A and B are shown apart, each in its own frame.
Chain A
Amino acid sequence: MTQEATEEKQTKPLLPFIKVPDNYPDEEAYIWGSKCSDCGSQFLGERLACGKCGGQTFEEVRFSDEGEVYVFSVVHQGVEEPFVGAIVDLKDGPSVRATISGLDPAKVDAGYRDWFGTKVKMYIEKVATDREGNDVIAAKFKVV
C-alpha cells in the first residue's frame, strides 16, 4: 500500500484566505488576513508587503463573520440559476466577494434599494470534492 493511499482526507479551503483550524470541524473555519503594523490597512490572507504603504510587518487577524452588503449584481451569465454576487464589507475588516442567500434575484428590480447595507452572516459550506477526494469548503453569506 502506498503512502498516499493511507493518508486521511483533508479539508481544503476554496480560497487561501479561508483558514481551516487544526481541530476543524470542532472549531469552524473562518476568514483571516493580515493587518499592516505600520498603517493599519487590512488584507485578505497572507501578504508579503502592504499594498498601501509598503510595510512588511503584519499581525494575523481573524475577521468577523458579520458584514454588510455594499454593492451587488444579479449574475445570469454562465450559470443555470441567477445568483446575487455582492461585495460585502466585513465588520471591522476588509471587503470580500460574496454569494448571498436570502435576497431573491427575481426581485432585484423592485427591491434593490433596500438591499444596500443588508446585514449578512458568513457560514462555511462544503462546495466540491477535489481530485484527491478532499472536501473543498467555501465561505458563503446569508441575510441575517
Chain B
Amino acid sequence: MRDVAVVGVNMIKFGRYPDKDVVRLASEATIGALKDAGCTINDVEILVSGNLYQSNAMVGQRIMKEIGATGIPVINVANACATGSTAFRDAWMSVASGAYDVALAVGSEQMGKMGLLGGGGGGDRAYRTEGVMGTGIMPGVFGQAGVEHMRKYGTTQEQFAKVAVKNHHHSMGNPYAQYQKETPLEDVLNARPVAWPNTLFMCCPTGDGGAAAVLMSAEKAKQYTTNPAWVAASVLTSDPYQERNPTMTDINTVTRIAAKEAYETAGLGPEDLSQVELHDCFATAELLHYENLGLCGDGEAGQLIDEGATAIGGRIPVNASGGLLSKGHPLGATGVANIVELVWHLRGEAGDRQVENSKVGLAHVIGLGSACTINIIKK
C-alpha cells in the first residue's frame, strides 16, 4: 500500500438545519475541504460519500451535481454510525492501492429533531418487543454495556458521569460543536434518566452535519502542501463470534481487534498517541474504549477519568472536540469529522481546544451491529 496524505479538511458546525437539504450540508463542507487542499473538484478522481438515512438516494452523485459533475466514479457508503469513517477508509484504499491519486471522502447526515439516537418506537405494535422482552434500543444497549463494566470492575455511575462533564467542558473550545454548555457533575447525575446508568447529558444528541477530507498520494500531495497529515493506519472490522452476541451487542471485541491491527500497521502503540477522538455515543462507552484502545489496563478506566488523564492537558486527551456527547452525531458525518478534528490539531489550528504539540491522533468509530473503524493520523 502507498502512503496517503490528508491534504484538505473541513466541516460545518453540527446542529439543526431545517432550511437546508443534506446535499447542501455536504457540499458546503466539501467546497471548504477542496479550498483547504488548494485544489478544485476537477482534480478529484473518485468520491466516496457516507450517508446513512438516505443511503438509497445517491447523495454522492447529488453532491457532484451541486459542486461540479465531472463524471468520476462515485461510491455511496452506509455502515451505521461508522458510515463516514468507512467512506474515509474507502477513499484511503482508493489512493493507497495506487488506483487513484486524489480521492474525496464526504460524510453527511440530516436527522432533524428525531429525538434521542436509536430511541426506538414505531413498528407493528402487536410485535413490539421493547420493554416486553428486554431492551434493544441503543440507550438500553449502551446502558447494559456500562453495567457490565460495573459488574466486572466496580466502576461507578459517577465515573461514567465524569465523561460527560469532561466532554461538555471540552466543547466550550469548539465552535463547530452542536452544544457548548458546561455540565457540572451534579447536573449530569440529576439530569433526566434515559437508561441507567446514563442520564440525558450522558447521551449524544441527533442532528445535521457535513464533513469532508481530500486524500492524495505522497507524490501528488507535494504539489499542494509542504505540511500534510499522513494516514498511518486505516482499519475496519466487524464483530467476531462472542457467546452473548447478538443478544447482547459486543462493542468491545470489535474495537480491540481493530486497535491491534491499527497499532501494528502504524508501527505505533497507545503510548505514542498525542490524542484520541473515540465513539462516546453514550458516556458509558467512552470508559470501555479507554481499555479497548489500550489507553489503560483492563479495569483501570474509572481511575483514568478520575485522574483527569483524558482531559485536555492530561496524559492522553480524549475527545478534545467535545466528543459525540456535545459536538453531536449526525451519523454519516461523524467519522469524517473526527479526521477533520485530528488534522486541525496536528496543524495547530484547533483554537481554544488545541492539544499542545499534537503529533499522532487516533479516531475510533463504532457502528452498532457492529462495525469498527480506527484511523491513525500523524504529522
Which residues of A are interface residues toward B (Cβ below 8 A)? 14-15, 41, 44, 51-52, 70-79, 82-83, 85-87, 89, 94-99, 108-109, 112, 116, 127-131, 136, 138-140
Contact = CB atoms under 8 A, between A and B. Distances in A.
26 contacts: A15-B129, A15-B133, A52-B241, A71-B248, A72-B147, A73-B139, A73-B196, A75-B139, A75-B195, A75-B196, A76-B195, A77-B119, A77-B120, A77-B139, A78-B119, A79-B130, A85-B144, A85-B195, A94-B244, A94-B247, A97-B135, A97-B248, A112-B147, A128-B126, A138-B133, A140-B132
Residue of A44, A77, A112 most packed against chain B (CB within 10 A): A77
Contact of B140 (A15, A75, A89, A112): A75
Chain B: interface secondary structure?
A: loop
B139 A96 contact: no
Contacts of B196: 73-76, 108, 112
Contacts of B243: 41, 94-95
B150 interface: yes
B20 interface: no
Given A72-B144, A82-B193, A116-B151, A95 B135 contact: no
Contact of A97 (B136, B143, B150, B193): B136
A128 to B, nearest CB: 4
Given A14-B129, A78-B121, A85-B134, 8 more contacts: A52-B241, A70-B248, A71-B248, A76-B192, A77-B139, A83-B135, A99-B135, A128-B127
A87 B131 contact: no
Contacts, number: 131
A14 B125 CA distance: 11
Given A75-B195, A77-B120, A97-B247, A127 B132 contact: yes
A109 B158 CA distance: 11
B2 to A, nearest CB: 35
B368 interface: no
A83 B193 contact: no
B121 to A, nearest CB: 6
Nearest to B149: A71
Interface string B177-201: 0000000000000001111110000
A77 B128 CA distance: 15
